[in-house]
Structure 1
């Protein structure tokens, strides 16, 4: 049985994961509208991955017998500026998610909830990959310094991202 603090923390994280998916879908739509179709694809795949993250937490809560009460999802921005701005906002968001997951992991340890701690370690490790991927994209965009041909090449590379594998 999960403590009330853990239930509250995981429920909040569930909402944050759904917001992450919603944010990435908004970013994808913005990039599509801006004719950065490769970036739009990359961000749409990120949306799908974040949705799977939310589902992983949802399933854990269900398995633990928690009565889930879904909260309202905040409206994401609709304008993101340059392609560099899009990915810088993505990085800031991922860093915020990392901090939240670290805090929740600390709470699980404090509550001596090792099952939840183990679940959260999967997410903590996933965040390393998330931040690294976005940092790499930002570095490439900065490298081309706004050059149209360079941005086109990066956009073409981003289009290669495949649908994420299902999460257990």
Structure 2
């Protein structure tokens, strides 16, 4: 059973995950327009991952006796000056997601709702991977500077595909 406060927090996070997906889909479109198909494909896989996260929240809220409620999703930014700027924004966004999930986990602990705490453990671990993968690309982009290595990184990023984790 979910308290009203936990249900609201989980719903807010579900909608934030959808907003996150919109950011990455917008970045995918931007990179496609810039002729960076690998970057676009990487961001599209990230979009799929964020929607997977949103649906995990959706299912959990309903299974735990709550009511998953969809909210208004703001339009994300549409373009970025450089690939580095886009990935730096993505990294800051992921750090914000981590903080939000940790806050919900704290609330679950305060309410002694162990089921929600267990549910959130997957997301807490997932955020370590999220920040690491985006941070790794930020580091590579910084090493490249304005050099010709962008083509090679674009090719490398183009091999990413989204695979839903086993539950």
Report the TM-score range of the alignment, normalised by the length of the smaller protein.
over 0.9
Q: CA distance change for structure 1 residues 15 and 111 in 2, over 3 Å: closer, same or farther?
A: same
Q: CA deviation at 1:167?
A: 5.2
Residues 56-83 of structure 1: per-residue CA shift (max 9 Å, x gap):
0000011112122211011101112100
Q: TM-score if structure 2 supplies the norm length? A: 0.97
In structure 1, the partner of 2:4 is 4
Aligned length: 167
CA distance in structure 2 between the aligned counterparts of 1:33 and 1:137, rounded to whole angstroms: 20
Q: CA distance change for structure 1 residues 24 and 35 in 2, over 3 Å: closer, same or farther?
A: same
Superposition RMSD in Å: 1.0
- Kept in 2, the 8 Å contact 1:10–1:57? The answer is yes
- Kept in 2, the 8 Å contact 1:52–1:167? The answer is no
In structure 2, the partner of 1:88 is 88
- Kept in 1, the 8 Å contact 2:42–2:157? The answer is yes
- Kept in 2, the 8 Å contact 1:37–1:159? The answer is yes
In structure 1, the partner of 2:102 is 102
Q: TM-score if structure 1 supplies the norm length? A: 0.96
